[in-house]
Amino acid sequence: MSLVTLMGLGVRLGRHQALSHVDFSIDKGEIVTVVGPNGSGKTTLLRSIIGAQKPTSGKIVRAKGLRIGYVPQSLSIDATLPLTVNRFLNLPLRHDREVTEQALSVAGAQGLQERQMSALSGGQFQRILLARALLKNPDLLILDEPTTGLDQPGSAALYRQIEQVRSDLGTAILMVSHELHVVMSASDRVVCLNGHVCCHGTPEIVASAPEYRALFGSGTQGALALYRHDHDHHHHSHDSHSHEHGTCDHA
């Protein structure tokens, strides 16, 4: 059974139809990347899945007892506030030292406990957010644009870490990215959203292609992949976002 299934999900925000007719599901241990331009409803989709946004139409079915770990896109912490990594991980719930150490280790952030949150690099900060989400022992980890602000080697390293989480713990991963053509190569599926599911498919890793090398160089060890939009798909004619068959309207 899928961890989460969306059936014909529609979400209206004020007068804006953010999502229409979205059918989507994620299975145990799967890595799914959702791509889409700004304002395409990606955050609305995640908020619907975690239960923070009510659907206006359609249905969301979650597996019984499903535990979701959420890594927000950003979190601003007052730089003048003294807050160690260890204290941050123990807010609002205290955990045993071994538990936080284990989460930090899985997130690739061992040894950072006593560091100040404000002194962390962008990549370290993301790993701490990842460790914090892992403390819930999630079946599904949801990450909203986790590589925002990271350079390419930093993004590749974080993607490898996330892949490691899946192979160590079997956690399913749902990740959102505003990058339309560059995704985590370990994604089993890529779903392109534009108010509706525009197209979906697998990422392609063509590491030897000149196009890939021009984009990524050779320092990412295959952590990044090109996502080619699958243009061979149909759309519902009643969909307000629909576009001509055979095109992906933002590609």
Q: Is 16 in the site for ligand ATP (CB under 6 A)?
A: yes
| Length, in residues, of the chain | 251
113: region left, alpha or beta (phi > 0 left; psi from -120 to 50 alpha): alpha
Q: How far is the CB of 139 from ligand ATP (least distance, A)?
A: 23
Q: Is 54 in the site for ligand ATP (CB under 6 A)?
A: no
Q: How far is the CB of 248 from ligand ATP (least distance, A)?
A: 15
**Residue 186, SS3 per DSSP:** coil
Q: Is 128 in the site for ligand ATP (CB under 6 A)?
A: no
Task: Provide the edge-to-edge strand list for the sheet that holds 4-13.
Answer: 16-26, 4-13, 57-62
- Phi, psi (deg, nearest 5) at residue 18: -75, -40
1-14: b or e for each residue (b if 16 or more CB lie within 10 Å)? eebbbbeebbbeee
According to CB under 6 A, which one of 3, 6, 33, 41 is a site residue for ligand ATP? 41
| Sole window of 37-45, 76-84, 106-114, 199-207 interacting with ligand ATP (rule: CB under 6 A) | 37-45
Q: How far is the CB of 44 from ligand ATP (least distance, A)?
A: 3
Query: How many whole angstroms separate alpha carbon 40 and alpha carbon 44?
Result: 9
Instruction: Give the closest residue to 69 by CA, choosing from 169, 204, 190.
Output: 169
Contact 112, 124 (CB under 8 A): yes
Name beta bridge partners: 70: 142
Q: How far is the CB of 200 from ligand ATP (least distance, A)?
A: 16
Site for ligand ATP in 170-189 (CB under 6 A): 178
Q: Are strands 189-193 and 197-201 parallel, antiparallel or unpaired?
A: antiparallel
Q: How far is the CB of 53 from ligand ATP (least distance, A)?
A: 9
Complex with ligand ATP: residue 36 or 108, whichever CB lies closer: 36
Complex with ligand ATP: residue 41 or 69, whichever CB lies closer: 41
Q: How far is the CB of 76 from ligand ATP (least distance, A)?
A: 16
Complex with ligand ATP: residue 38 or 237, whichever CB lies closer: 38
- Which residues sit at the interface with ligand ATP, rule CB under 6 A? 13-14, 16, 18, 36, 38-44, 178
